[in-house]
Amino acid sequence: MLVGVSVAWYTQFETGAIRVSPRMLDRVAAALRLNDEEKLYLFSLAIDEMPTVLHRDTATSGAIERAALMHFTKRARAASSPQELEALTVDFLFDTCRPVEIAQIIHADLDRQEFWTTTQRTAPGVEGFPTNPQPFSLVHDAEPVLVRGEIFSENNIRSAEHTLMRDRQQKFGTGRYISVGVHAGMSIAALNVTQQSNEPYSDWEKFQLGLIAEIFALTLTSRY
């Protein structure tokens, strides 16, 4: 009742018969009044329940193996500093997602309406984002992800009004940019992935990106 679901749904959830979103896991954690360490453990269990063998079709292209997510979770929890945690997360995004041009973590100041890149990794020949503060007006997805707290913002670079992406658009003509919101205590941030492919992300890929963001956020709040 506290989670807002039926007994039948919750039974399926507890037995691992269904896959749920990070936001639903967060609601379950709140209803159970879990602390940050317990919440991180719940997300770890959710990852552990992922199927070992994934069907490689259009709906699951670019899927991340369960073992890789489990390994990332363990390494994240063992990180000695927020900087090491960010580097681990960016490397994981870069190495396990679709072929990536840029994987990065940004932080934001809502009062100043500014964001800046703290950690990033780029493909050879690809220029990274500036690390000095930039106004929200340069990227139109700052409002939904950073201000309104939405989980995802996915954009076709060709049609997006990203001032920071114009040079890349002119060079390649195609591409996709996805932001995954991270709200960890007082920290407002996002995980960003830029790719040359224009193929939209599947629900399965978004589910996995959401889990990575939640692991990052929970580790940040419970450890530092």
Q: pLDDT tens digit string along 95-116?
A: 888 888 889 999 988 889 898 9
Q: Tell me, yes or no, whether 2 lies in a domain.
A: no
The residue segments making up the domain with residue 197 are 7-223
Q: How many distinct structural domains can be found in the chain? A: 1
Q: What is the CATH number of the domain that holds 142?
A: 3.30.450.40
Give kind and range of the element (H or E) at residue 72: helix 66-77
Instruction: State the pLDDT at residue 89.
Output: 95
DSSP type of residue 60: G
Q: Tell me, yes or no, whether 1 lies in a domain.
A: no
Q: pLDDT tens digit string along 12-60?
A: 788 777 767 777 888 888 899 988 778 877 877 776 555 443 333 434 4
Q: Tell me, yes or no, whether 104 lies in a domain.
A: yes
86 pLDDT tier (thresholds 50, 70, 90): very high
Mean pLDDT across 56-77:
67
Q: Tell me, yes or no, whether 62 lies in a domain.
A: yes
**Do residues 197 and 205 make contact, with C-beta atoms less than 8 angstroms apart?**
no
Q: pLDDT tens digit string along 156-209?
A: 665 555 666 655 555 555 678 888 888 776 678 889 888 877 788 887 788 888
Q: How many CB atoms lie within 10 A of CB 196?
A: 18
